[in-house]
Amino acid sequence: MPTSRALVASNDAPRLLRTLSNHWRHKFDVRRDSDTHAHIPFAEAAGADFEVAGDALLIKLVHDDGAGMARLREVVESHLQRFARDETLEFNWQA
């Protein structure tokens, strides 16, 4: 299944992970294994892993469709940027 990864620098990656997990908990079966990792199953053929890596958030997306992957990237970016408050996040997606 196609994957896309990004390492996003942040002043508070653990808070971003916590906020994102809590935000999507009402809609998806979010699994938080620890304070530094969460998995969000967006659909049967799409999901995301988020892991705190020092001063960054490592994001791994999977999606079985190219257009769906692009949309999933947009959704993740918009949510994280909104939760980042006055910090501007940079997303450099790699296949």
**CATH number for the domain whose boundaries are 3-83:** 3.30.310.50
63-85: average pLDDT: 95
Does 91 have pLDDT greater than 90?
yes
pLDDT at residue 47 in the model:
96
Does 1 have pLDDT greater than 90?
no
Return the domain boundaries, the chain.
3-83
With b for 16 or more beta-carbon neighbours within 10 A and e for fewer, the 47-78 pattern comes to bbbbbbeeebbbbebbbeeeebbeebbeebbe
- The string of pLDDT tens digits covering residues 7-45 is 999 999 999 999 999 999 999 999 998 999 999 999 988
Instruction: Provide the whole-model pTM.
Output: 0.94
